[in-house]
Amino acid sequence: MKNETIDKQYNNFDDIYSSNLAVQDAAGNRFFYQTIDFSLEGKNILDVGCGDGTDCNFYQKSGGIVTGVEPSDDFLNSARKKYPQCKFIIGVGENLPLNDSSFDVVFSKYAVQTSPEVPRVMSEIARVLKKDGILVMLSKHPLRQFMEQNADKNYFKNNITTSNIYDGRIALHEPSHSFGEYFNRGFFDNFDLLDYKEWYDFPASEQIDGAIHPTFFVIKARRR
């Protein structure tokens, strides 16, 4: 189940995180928004791990009817104050408090990798999406997480890794993952993969030993 320490760590630095997000996540944001090449007008939209609601506000301004799910109380309170036109509820990706087949689009940025149960989160996203609904997801790259392991380096083990982001201002502690956790039989039973991109984003991510390595990936998929 969800690790409460990991789940609530954003309560300690939500203001610092939000103020750096738009400025330093340039590459990740660019790839993510380029993938949204379809209309959001009138669509029921879910943002899994919505943070302070910034992306929800964009989706709403683009014509969507938006619900954000977020486990951090601090982020949730901030989102509700800043963007009252959107609906925000507390919850986790492993057990979304939402009805089956209720959304046309699901977005998620840098949230799914925080779970120790990635296949379960992907299954929950599939559950709440309508047939032919679209998923657009941005997540940490498994290779980045492998490189950030300080000891007991094992690509196939969910080691807790420490990511130093925004020039070391914030340290995040999250489980590492393999690509097989994202793209397994269950995923392809539920989705058709439409697009995949990977790139790097420094200093939003830590550059290990000067290496150029992928730090994130973006997918677009259609619900079967």
SS (HEC) of the chain: CCCHHHHHHHHHCHHHHHHHHHHHCHHHHHHHHHHCCCCCCCCEEEEECCCCCHHHHHHHHCCCEEEEEECCHHHHHHHHHHCCCCEEEECECCECCCCCCCEEEEEEECCHHHCCCHHHHHHHHHHHEEEEEEEEEEEECHHHHHHCCCCCCCCCCCCEEEEEECCCCEEEEEECCCHHHHCCHHHHHHEEEEEEEEECCCCCCCCHHHCCCCCEEEEEEEEC
Report the pLDDT value the prediction gives residue 19, as an integer from 0 to 100. 54
Could you tell me which residues are beta bridge partners of residue 198? 217
Q: Give the whole-angstrom CA distance, residue 128 versus residue 186.
A: 15
Nearest to 14 by CA among 87, 80, 94, 103: 80
**pLDDT of the chain along its 224 residues, tens only?**
344 544 555 555 555 555 555 555 788 999 999 999 999 999 999 999 999 999 999 999 999 999 999 999 999 999 999 999 999 999 999 999 999 999 999 999 999 999 999 999 999 999 999 999 999 999 999 999 998 887 788 999 988 888 777 666 777 788 999 999 999 999 999 999 999 999 999 878 888 889 999 999 999 999 99
pLDDT for position 6: 46
Query: What is the model's pLDDT at position 118?
Result: 97
Domains and CATH numbers, the chain: 4-223 (3.40.50.150)
| Reported pTM | 0.88
Predicted pLDDT at 162: 80
